[in-house]
Amino acid sequence: MIIQPRVRGFICLTSHPEGTAQNVKNQIDYVKSKGAIANGPKKVLVIGASTGFGLASRITAAFGSEAATIGVFFEKPAAEGKPGTAGWYNSAAFEEEATKAGLYAKSINGDAFSDEVKKQTIALIKQDLGQVDLVVYSLASPRRTHPKTGVAHASVLKPIGQSFTNKTVDFHSGVVSDISIQPVEAEDDIANTVAVMGGEDWKFWIEELKAAGVLAEGVKTVAYSYIGPELTYPIYRNGTIGRAKDDLEGTVPVLNDLLKDLNGVSYVSVNKALVTQSSSAIPVVPLYISLLYKVMKEKGIHEGTIEQMQRLFSERLYTANANDLQLDEKGRIRVDDWEMRADVQEEVAKLWEQATTENLEQLSDIQGYRDEFFNLFGFNFPEVDYNAETNEVVTVPSIG
Q: How far is the CB of 1 from ligand NAI (least distance, A)?
A: 23
Looking at beta carbons only, is 193 or 278 nearer to ligand NAI?
Answer: 278
Angle at 302 between CA 300 and CA 306, to 5 degrees: 135
Scan residues 255-274 and list those touching ligand NAI (CB under 6 A).
271, 273-274
Q: Which of 111, 208, 315, 337 binds ligand NAI (CB under 6 A)?
A: 111
Scan residues 21-50 and list those touching ligand NAI (CB under 6 A).
48-50
Catalytic position from the list 30, 137, 236, 267:
236
Reported in sequence order, the residue ranges of 226-332 that DSSP labels E, i.e. its strands, are 265-270
Active-site residue flag, 224? no
If you count them, how many residues does the chain have? 400
Q: Which of 30, 94, 205, 226 binds ligand NAI (CB under 6 A)?
A: 226
- Partners of 220 in beta bridges: 134, 265
230 class by beta-carbon count within 10 Å (0-12 exposed, 13-18 middle, 19+ buried): exposed
Q: How many residues bind ligand NAI (CB under 6 A)?
A: 29
- Can residue 309 be called a binding residue for ligand NAI (CB under 6 A)? no
Q: Which of 23, 51, 69, 155 binds ligand NAI (CB under 6 A)?
A: 51
Do 173 and 184 meet the contact criterion of CB atoms below 8 Å apart? no
- Can residue 141 be called a binding residue for ligand NAI (CB under 6 A)? yes
Nearest by Cα to 221 from 203, 237, 233, 196: 203
- Can residue 112 be called a binding residue for ligand NAI (CB under 6 A)? yes
- Separation CA 276–CA 306 (nearest Å): 12
| Piece of 137-145, 311-319, 321-329, 344-352 that binds ligand NAI (CB under 6 A) | 137-145
Looking at beta carbons only, is 262 or 341 nearer to ligand NAI?
Answer: 341
**Amino acid letter, residue 41:** P
45 φ, ψ (degrees, to nearest 5): -110, 125
**Amino acid letter, residue 297:** K
- Separation CA 69–CA 135 (nearest Å): 10
- Separation CA 52–CA 206 (nearest Å): 22
Looking at beta carbons only, is 64 or 242 nearer to ligand NAI?
Answer: 242
Binding footprint of ligand NAI on the chain (CB under 6 A): 48-54, 72-75, 87, 111-113, 138-141, 224-226, 271, 273-274, 276-279
Active site residues: 236
